[in-house]
Amino acid sequence: MTKKERANYVIQELERLYPNVPVPLDHSDPYTLLIAVLLSAQCTDVRVNQITPLLFARANNPHDMVKLSVEEIKEIIRPCGLSPMKSKGILGLSHMILELHGGKVPESFEALEAMPAVGHKTASVVMSQGFGVPAFPVDTHIHRLMVRWGLTSGKNVVETEKDAKKLFPKELWNKLHLQIIFYGREYSPARSPKWEKDYITREIGTKKAIAELVRK
């Protein structure tokens, strides 16, 4: 298969497996999504969805969030890990949203990435899932699978994102990146991929990826 043929196969199979893909992080608007994505760094979506109701019961908008102290936020979000950095980021970006953006989450990559604790991936998720703007957030699941499937030779998520955007139609980006994440979690996890389950890798994977599956 050519790289384009492999990409088309991925699109076809993921649409068959996941015709309707929910957003993994529970949220009610772009602000609560932004906070949830920030908390998800080095933390599972399941854990984030357990913690955000506790935080949002106290503050689910920037006006209420800035009334809390860093220590109060940190104590609530502690189970998500990296709580000192995340709590400062949540308070800092809430102040910026109020002072620079009229209390609303800005709809631009540049403005989002200018906020504390908000990197390109977080901004991409918010633009994609919060505002419907085409974006292709690349996490470790997507990077791993794009490499396994021979769709990128990127050494990091930045290079992999560029390759994904070249390969896949723009109108599919917002759904497809979620479909790949769901497939990675269900069929091709990082630590224990299984030959009998990961059929996309068996079909189109690189020789190295297939060899790894066989050893499992």
* CA dist list (Å): 154 to 122, 147, 170, 189, 206: 20, 8, 20, 19, 14
The confidence score (pLDDT) of residue 216 equals 59
Task: Note the Cα 113 to chain centre separation in Å.
Answer: 15
Out of 74, 139, 163, 198, which one is annotated catalytic?
Answer: 139
Where in the sequence of the chain do the CATH 1.10.340.30 domains occur? 30-131
Q: Which of 125, 65, 67 is nearest to 93 (CA)?
A: 65
The domain 30-131: what is its CATH number?
Answer: 1.10.340.30
pTM, to two decimals: 0.92
Is 139 an annotated catalytic residue? Answer: yes
The third-level CATH classification (topology) of the domain covering 3-21+137-215 is: Endonuclease Iii, domain 2 (1.10.1670)
Out of 4, 45, 86, 121, which one is annotated catalytic?
Answer: 121
Where in the sequence of the chain do the CATH 1.10.1670.10 domains occur? 3-21+137-215
Which residues are within 8 A (CB) of 100 and not within 5 positions of it... i.e. 6 or more apart?
106, 111
Read out DSSP for 87-136?
Answer: HHHHHHHHHHHHHHSTTS--SSHHHHHTSTT--HHHHHHIIIIIH-----
Which mean pLDDT values do the consecutive 10-residue runs of the chain (216 residues) have? 95 97 96 98 95 98 98 98 97 98 97 96 97 94 94 94 97 97 90 80 91 75
The confidence score (pLDDT) of residue 211 equals 85
Tokens 């800005």 map to which residue? 106
The confidence score (pLDDT) of residue 109 equals 97
DSSP 8-state symbol, 66: T
* CA dist list (Å): 86 to 25, 28, 156: 17, 20, 23
